Structure 1
Amino acid sequence: MGRAEERRARQRGGRRAAPNGRRSADGTGRGGIRRLFTWKKILGTFFGLCLLGMGAFIVLYMVIDIPEGNADAELQGNVYKYSDGSIMARRGYNREIVDLAKVPKEVQRTFVAAENKSFYKDSGVDLRGTARGVLNTVSGKGAQGGSTITQQYVKNYYLTQEQTVTRKFKELVISLKLDREKSKDYILAGYINTSYYGRGAYGIQAAAQAYYRVDAQDLSVAQGAYLAALLQAPNQYDWAIASDTGKRLVQERWNYVLDNMVEQDWLDRADRQGLKFPVPKEPKADPGLEGQTGYLVEAANAALKEQLVDQGTAEDLEQAKAMVDLGGYTITLNIDKKKQKALEQAVKEKLTSRLDPKKRDVDADVQAGAVSVSPKTGAVVAMYGGVDYLKHFRNNAVRDDYQPASTFKPVILAAAVDQDAETQDGVPITANALYDGTSGRPVVDGTRKVGFSPPNEDDRDYGEIDVQESMNKSVNSVFAQMGIDVGMAEVVKVAGELGMETEGMPAVPAQTLGTMGASPLEMAGVYATLGNHGKRVTPAVVESVEHKDRQVEFPDPIGDQVISREAADTVTSVLTGVVDDGTARVSVKENPLRNGQQVAGKTGTSDNNKSAWFTGYTPNWSPRSACSARTQERQAGPDVPGGRRRLPRQRRWPPAEIWAAYTFGVMDKVTRFDLDTKQGAAVKPSRSPSVSQSPSQTPSDEPTSEAPTTEAPPETSAPPTSEAPSPPPTSEPPTNTPTSGPPTTEVPGGGDDPENADAER
């Protein structure tokens, strides 16, 4: 059949058999395929799928809400700073969320230039990038970049890092909704605060510190561009560990970021040309809790928790602890870095370097605690809590389970002068008032004996003695009677007003010996109040606290006038005599670094010689401070079987030496007290030598002339080798002390070790 016939056959409805090579398997040919896949059907299917996808997206948009943020993405640590702003320690997660307003505008824009130039104009999503990511995920090619800042923030904060199609669609929907509901600044702040920058740093503040040792608010545009470049590959681009290739790539990306800023008119071209690549600093380990740092951090946390409760932010200390543990606090302490080092050095020089537990077992039980407080501001400028926080966890500077002993005597005198109290004979109690200093003399209230007869140290009798000399020599019998004369309830009341913890403290005569518990921090506050002319000083460890979600305001450490200025200044005047003529004469007065500086202070040794003290202060207008130092025996524990041990006699004098080495070491000028009183050693000549000042009547904190050679000063006699202290440093007084004066060593204060104190407690 020819072609013409074939054509006519088709017109008549006939059909010619198709050639064998062009017939389909189902008996149809090309015409059937064309009829199955027509353009109309293809377009219809495409639009149908589009409508189906749009419908599915609408459903997803309606169903998927912006979820709660991932709590882990906002986990923060706490940052602790010295008073000069330098970092003391970091605890917890290395992230510190900062407000976007604290990040310079040009630094903000480095991140936009690096990741999403259209950020300020787009709807929060990159459809092409998202589609590409979905296809790569389906095909198994792994993660695909190209998403917007909004999408990256959604992934970091609201979702997870898993690479699934479901997560991609959620990311798209949430990003669109977030862009509509939140400002661009909110999204950018979330992005730079939740991103990981390497070196264990989460968020821009931690990154700024990790790479450039500055706060985010102090970053330059060049530094910001480097941090923005890091986000692409934090480990590969960390300059400290990057390979040559990594360094080349990060510099290329740094240039890319800055060029984009010029393109967006965010950076002047001339300024851009002047920028040099800011090589980051070497990695630095986060400060830990070793040494004194742990004690300081612990004290700061305690103060913060108490304030959260006091201001009503937390219901109790347990809730406050949970809030602090969540992190996000930047805590600036009042600790002065130089004074802190000076106090640590003083303890080492005067105590710990002399201890040798291998030669003397008792040396293993000796500990120290000290606090320095500014009487003018109340700031705790230095604190020594123990040999090392990682070895001895309890802070000796704040523990209050040791007796303050004779350092409590000034409180009794303060109450007497403030209340215009009188002796049993009706004579006003002043520095010149006379008392019976007989050891073991029964204390009387009128004609009634009160059942308390405290002995003086070494059971010494002083006969008739005035208050000034009684304070110098720490005569127990005098101050026990004075407590009754004032009224023990009034003494306890004044103690509380000066800063001691008096809740539950019984107003009994035995308290005149300082038998209650007290910490060096507590006693430093009491003496700072005396040094502040009677205006209450509450020691403040923390200067300020910052947190993104809450305000924490600490009260003024300087409070009201709690005792009269005359009473406070009278005590100060009397306490200068303790330094110049009494139990602290050798360790403080004769210190060659003193240079004429006026000092008020008091020694103390608790019952059974479990602790030794010196608390003193200098004029409050000077840049120095009141300081309380204590040495103590170690509590019972797994390494101290059997309980407490007596503090060796040779280990009782270091507190005053620690105080003097620290105070005179940080002294920058010599100052004098401005006293509103006509009493005491500071405002009148010392009493001329009398029988009470003869060797047999030396201050009870000094050894007697009959003292055995085993207890003689280290400078003049060699103690037994089993308990001998190391030779004192060259700053000790010369050994050729005039024979008319007291010996040149300091031993426990008078009446600090009463035999019947426990029975009267």
Structure 2
Amino acid sequence: MNPYGEPQSSRARARVPGSAGSTPDDDQPRSYSASARPSGSARPAPDAYRRGAGGRASVGNNTSGRASVGSASVGSASVGSASVGSARVGGSARVGAAAAPPPGRAAVARAAVRPGTGFGPPNAPDDEGSFGGERPGRGGKDKSKAAKRRRRTNILTAAAAVVVIMLGAGVVGGTYFFDDVDLPPPVSEDQSNVILDAKGTTLAKLGDQNRTVVPEARINKVVEHAVAAAEDKNFYKHHGIDMKGIVRAAWNNFTGGATQGASTITQQYARHAAELKDISINRKLREAVIARKLESKYDKDQIMGMYLNYIYLGQGRYGIEAAAQGYFGKSVTTPAGQKNAITPYEAAVLAGIIKQPEPSASHDGYDPTVNPTAAKERWEYTMANMYEMGWISKDVYDKRKYPTNLKVVKASSVKSTDNKPVGMIMRHVKAELADMGISAEEFKKGGLTVTTTIDPDVQKAAEEAGSRKSESSPMNDKPATYQAAVIGIDPKTGRVLGYYGGDDANGLDYGGYMSPDGTEIVGGQSPGSTFKIYTLAAALKEDISFKTTWDGTKLRPNGTKISNAGADPGTVCKGKIKYCDLETATIKSYNFPFYWIADGIGRDKVIAAARDAGVGHMFTDSGKLVDLNKTDKSTWEKTGYFDNEVAFGQYRVVPLEHAEGVATIVGNGVHHDAHFVKSVTRVDPETGKKSIVGSEKIEGNEVFKADQMSNLQSVMKEIVEVDDRDLRGGQEGIAKSGTWEFKEGSGDTWFVGGMPQLAATVWVGGAKNKVELKESNGRDMFGAGTPSKIWKKFLDAVIKAKDLKNEDFPDRVETGNPDSPFANGQEPPPPVQNNDGDNNNGGDCVLGFIGPDCNQNNNGGNGNNNGGNNNGDGNGNGNDDGNGNGGDDGGGNGNTPETQPTFEQPTVDPTFEPEN
């Protein structure tokens, strides 16, 4: 058996070279004619070393097909007269008739012939791959360096074979190894996935390995040469096998010495591709066979490309591109000579790391940011080899200067979103990629570039408005047990432009309650009165006008009262509780009209309106998560699911989905799926071409009529005005506040709405577990309090950062039937009759000015009944019941806004806590 696993008889084979003009096997394999093979020879064995095309002797008239070698004479012919070495390339080494050995006689070894004139000058040194010991045209032992190398190689090859046989490694013949060892396919290296914001700035790199695969054809050659100089300077000359390494490994294993490497680049990649991790002679031999097969199938550039994309270079960086980006902030694909291209000096630094990228017990490695002294020594070694091999000029070598632009970055920094609010977005990115058909396995494999919808200006505004860590946030002075979520969506496309769901990227997602792996929803919050926007959308669809009136004294079918935000029944709706109009009830956030709307048109239509707007999930009181897109009325109206209280926000929803619904209202009734991903591309590692594997869908679907939405928007606009939440520069805004109780106070508080350019949803509640929310002054928190301040700060910051021009909502179109059969308001009493225009309340007064009771009961001139616009006190400054101008719960700008707890009070006290 020869060293490479080819079968071989004990008699050497004589091989016939090609013509004088044939190409050296550095460029292409040799070809042999069938007639040129000696008898009994099945096929030529592969060479371990490159040699000229005419490097072996052919046998002339020797009919037995055997060539004699060495100094022994045969017959009457002396060795000198049958000189093998004088054969020309393409010719035959003539052996005289007397020199031919008699049939049946075994001649040992091979007849070697140095290349003739077809390859260079006549006196050129012997090719390193040639075997034999004679110089051409003269007798005696060849004492040249090339000849010594050949003899040494022969000895090492024989020694390796002897060692293998002595160790009993189970290798019977070359056929066993060469045929039994399969060539593994090229490894598809795991890469990182690059996540970009809408402007192309990297938000994060996700994946098991920080690697970017680049096509070999695009890699700067100076990088490839530097790596070869550091790891295997003869890479472009050999056939992939380091015979010395094989023998050394065998000998050390046999003697119990330390394991040593010195593998070629091809062998290193073979070990990786075949996952040969055990340390044994068997592994080393298999590694060699695979290396030979790799060299047979792939050219040197292809092998170098696979190697450069696989190697580890420290600091959590896999592949040459990640290393170049990490250590120098450059790409290896930038052509030489262009700005920011890798220099030979920088390339040598990177190449030097490969030998040992991480510290060990015995050596600190060659990472220049960890062990600069050893790294520089390795750099000098690499630079010297680059010069020796002709890969850099003398001038470049003489002017060498160790790079000083290294980046000292800790390995943990590859997880760039840890402990950053933006990290929460990655969960939603993964979920959307799965929806696009990109499996978890594909994502793990990496190589994706994901461009998100996140606008850096909007994202910054969301974080600064909602995070307790932000000194300018209304949350800054709140306890650590308080938490906010801020979500900004483009109502024209559904793109999530800003998303704050918490400061801990690995913690609970308070915006979307998405699990860390992006596979499921794990919680939600009660939206309170903010859910009324869907009840109103359903009512408008059923032709109910804002002018319809409703009876606030009517009891539920079970005989219980409907809470009206804790207000005194005598002051509700300016004393018109039995015939309160829907518009006033919306601004003041009374509950009773909404309960009766759900009862009249069917609560399923309220739920359907929420679903159509974008609310995809809702929780029952028992905590069961219901997918609204996969269920319908038959499920929603079952016992234990949803009652009429759904109309004013009893049941928990996901804030992100609620934000999507809010964006539909802001967007004039056109629904767009809220999404975080704009596009996904993948780069072909062979060609470098990008292909789109996923993209956003921004087509809208009109779910509510535009004129009905203009009607609703106009009412919501009044809420912004009375809550004194006018936006920067006079920008129009619409809003709705909401609060849901917990114990004796508030547990969830909301402020939702937006401007034509951006829909904004804000939630404030407990962190992990529900708490009773208080303002800094100790009073109960309501939606019109801290949440509305966060909402305004967020939108004002976006207007400033984006320099947005004012946009108005459409003009109001009043829709619906004021006499809708669903309305249940009582007939109002007839208006008070006045005498001659005076406000005479009766008594003894003739003609309005004669008598004792004249001019005694004029209560301020224009007072209305029951404490109306001026509260009947003659001051003209009263508002409703003294609890504010139109928040959901008395959080407006009226007198003593927090003196009464005015949160909605459901029939069931929901105290569900978000799942941890």
TM-score, normalising length from structure 1? 0.70
Query: What is the Cα deviation at residue 141 of structure 1?
Result: 6.8
Report what 2:525 is aligned to: 402
> Structure 1 residues 553 and 165, CA, compared in 2 at 3 Å: closer, same or farther?
same
Query: Equivalents in 2 of 1:698, 1:565: separation in Å?
Result: 32
2:780 paired residue among 618, 626, 650: 650
Query: Equivalents in 2 of 1:258, 1:656: separation in Å?
Result: 69
Bigger Cα displacement from structure 2, 218-227 vs 199-208? 218-227
Name the aligned partner's letter for residue 536 of structure 1.
H
Matched, 1:145 2:250: no
> Structure 1 residues 634 and 133, CA, compared in 2 at 3 Å: closer, same or farther?
closer
Query: Equivalents in 2 of 1:212, 1:677: separation in Å?
Result: 57
Report what 1:473 is aligned to: 588
Name the aligned partner's letter for residue 750 of structure 2.
W
Name the aligned partner's letter for residue 626 of structure 1.
A
Report what 2:562 is aligned to: 454
Query: Equivalents in 2 of 1:755, 1:700: separation in Å?
Result: 22
Query: Equivalents in 2 of 1:712, 1:434: separation in Å?
Result: 23
Matched, 1:422 2:535: no
Query: Equivalents in 1 of 2:863, 2:391: separation in Å?
Result: 86
Q: Helix, strand or coil: the match of 2:499?
A: strand
Q: Helix, strand or coil: the match of 2:780?
A: helix
Query: What is the Cα deviation at residue 159 of structure 1?
Result: 3.6
1:527 paired residue among 622, 645, 662: 662
Query: What is the Cα deviation at residue 597 of structure 1?
Result: 1.6
Alignment RMSD: 4.6
Matched, 1:567 2:682: no
2:405 paired residue among 272, 279, 293: 279
Query: Equivalents in 2 of 1:102, 1:82: separation in Å?
Result: 29
Asked if structure 2 preserves the Cα contact closer than 8 Å seen for 1:110 and 1:258, the reply is no
Give runs of aligned pairs for residues 53-64 of structure 1, distance below 5 A.
56-64=173-181
Query: What is the Cα deviation at residue 173 of structure 1?
Result: 0.8
Q: Helix, strand or coil: the match of 1:221?
A: coil
> Structure 1 residues 332 and 422, CA, compared in 2 at 3 Å: closer, same or farther?
closer
Report what 1:212 is aligned to: 328
Give runs of aligned pairs for residues 162-181 of structure 1, distance below 5 A.
164-181=280-297
Query: Equivalents in 2 of 1:261, 1:403: separation in Å?
Result: 73
Q: May I ask how many residue pairs the two structures share in their alignment?
A: 629
Report what 2:148 is aligned to: none
Query: Equivalents in 2 of 1:325, 1:748: separation in Å?
Result: 55
Query: Equivalents in 1 of 2:899, 2:679: separation in Å?
Result: 41
Query: What is the Cα deviation at residue 179 of structure 1?
Result: 2.9
1:661 paired residue among 766, 785, 793: 793
1:198 paired residue among 300, 308, 314: 314
Query: What is the Cα deviation at residue 612 of structure 1?
Result: 0.4
Report what 2:607 is aligned to: 492
Q: Helix, strand or coil: the match of 2:409?
A: coil
Matched, 1:346 2:346: no
Give runs of aligned pairs for residues 340-419 of structure 1, distance below 5 A.
340-347=459-466, 348=468, 349-356=472-479, 365-389=481-505, 392-398=507-513, 400-417=523-540, 419=541
Q: Structure 1: which 5+ residue stretches go unaligned?
A: 1-37, 315-319, 357-363, 424-428, 444-448, 637-643, 682-687, 706-710, 714-736
Q: Helix, strand or coil: the match of 1:281?
A: coil
Asked if structure 2 preserves the Cα contact closer than 8 Å seen for 1:524 and 1:626, the reply is yes
Matched, 1:615 2:752: yes
Query: What is the Cα deviation at residue 123 of structure 1?
Result: 4.1
Q: Structure 2: which 5+ residue stretches go unaligned?
A: 1-70, 75-105, 111-153, 162-170, 335-339, 359-364, 514-521, 617-627, 685-690, 816-861, 873-877
Query: What is the Cα deviation at residue 579 of structure 1?
Result: 0.4
Query: Equivalents in 1 of 2:217, 2:868: separation in Å?
Result: 69
Bigger Cα displacement from structure 2, 76-85 vs 58-67? 76-85
1:434 paired residue among 539, 548, 554: 548
Post-superposition CA distance 1:13-61 (Å, at most 9, x none): xxxxxxxxxxxxxxxxxxxxxxxxx9799x9676799899698333310
> Structure 1 residues 508 and 677, CA, compared in 2 at 3 Å: closer, same or farther?
farther
Post-superposition CA distance 1:280-308 (Å, at most 9, x none): 21124413522425433333333334x15
Query: Equivalents in 1 of 2:804, 2:272: separation in Å?
Result: 59
Name the aligned partner's letter for residue 221 of structure 1.
I
Query: Equivalents in 2 of 1:229, 1:552: separation in Å?
Result: 37
Query: What is the Cα deviation at residue 174 of structure 1?
Result: 0.6
Name the aligned partner's letter for residue 408 of structure 1.
F
Query: What is the Cα deviation at residue 500 of structure 1?
Result: 0.7
Q: Helix, strand or coil: the match of 1:458?
A: coil
Matched, 1:292 2:411: no
Asked if structure 1 preserves the Cα contact closer than 8 Å seen for 2:604 and 2:636, the reply is no
Q: Helix, strand or coil: the match of 1:475?
A: coil
Query: Equivalents in 1 of 2:402, 2:538: separation in Å?
Result: 68
1:633 paired residue among 757, 762, 766: 766
Report what 1:154 is aligned to: 270
Asked if structure 2 preserves the Cα contact closer than 8 Å seen for 1:370 and 1:520, the reply is no
Q: Helix, strand or coil: the match of 1:595?
A: helix
Q: Percent identity?
A: 24
> Structure 1 residues 101 and 381, CA, compared in 2 at 3 Å: closer, same or farther?
farther
Query: Equivalents in 2 of 1:112, 1:61: separation in Å?
Result: 29
Query: Equivalents in 2 of 1:102, 1:614: separation in Å?
Result: 55
Name the aligned partner's letter for residue 706 of structure 2.
R
Matched, 1:742 2:894: yes
Asked if structure 1 preserves the Cα contact closer than 8 Å seen for 2:613 and 2:671, the reply is yes
Q: Helix, strand or coil: the match of 1:196?
A: coil
> Structure 1 residues 213 and 601, CA, compared in 2 at 3 Å: closer, same or farther?
farther
Q: Helix, strand or coil: the match of 2:210?
A: coil
Matched, 1:753 2:867: no
Query: What is the Cα deviation at residue 128 of structure 1?
Result: 6.0
Post-superposition CA distance 1:439-476 (Å, at most 9, x none): 34347xxxxx7978522112342124444333222122
Query: Equivalents in 1 of 2:235, 2:894: separation in Å?
Result: 82
Name the aligned partner's letter for residue 383 of structure 1.
Y
> Structure 1 residues 224 and 333, CA, compared in 2 at 3 Å: closer, same or farther?
farther
TM-score, normalising length from structure 2? 0.59
Post-superposition CA distance 1:332-372 (Å, at most 9, x none): 4433344333322222344442224xxxxxxx643222222
> Structure 1 residues 756 and 161, CA, compared in 2 at 3 Å: closer, same or farther?
closer
Query: Equivalents in 1 of 2:753, 2:239: separation in Å?
Result: 67
Name the aligned partner's letter for residue 603 of structure 1.
S
Query: Equivalents in 2 of 1:341, 1:389: separation in Å?
Result: 16
Q: Which has the higher contact order (CA 8 A, sep 6+)?
A: 1
Asked if structure 1 preserves the Cα contact closer than 8 Å seen for 2:313 and 2:353, the reply is yes
> Structure 1 residues 394 and 528, CA, compared in 2 at 3 Å: closer, same or farther?
closer
Query: What is the Cα deviation at residue 407 of structure 1?
Result: 0.9
> Structure 1 residues 112 and 291, CA, compared in 2 at 3 Å: closer, same or farther?
closer
Name the aligned partner's letter for residue 562 of structure 2.
P
Query: Equivalents in 2 of 1:268, 1:474: separation in Å?
Result: 84
Name the aligned partner's letter for residue 497 of structure 1.
D
> Structure 1 residues 756 and 67, CA, compared in 2 at 3 Å: closer, same or farther?
same
> Structure 1 residues 606 and 245, CA, compared in 2 at 3 Å: closer, same or farther?
closer
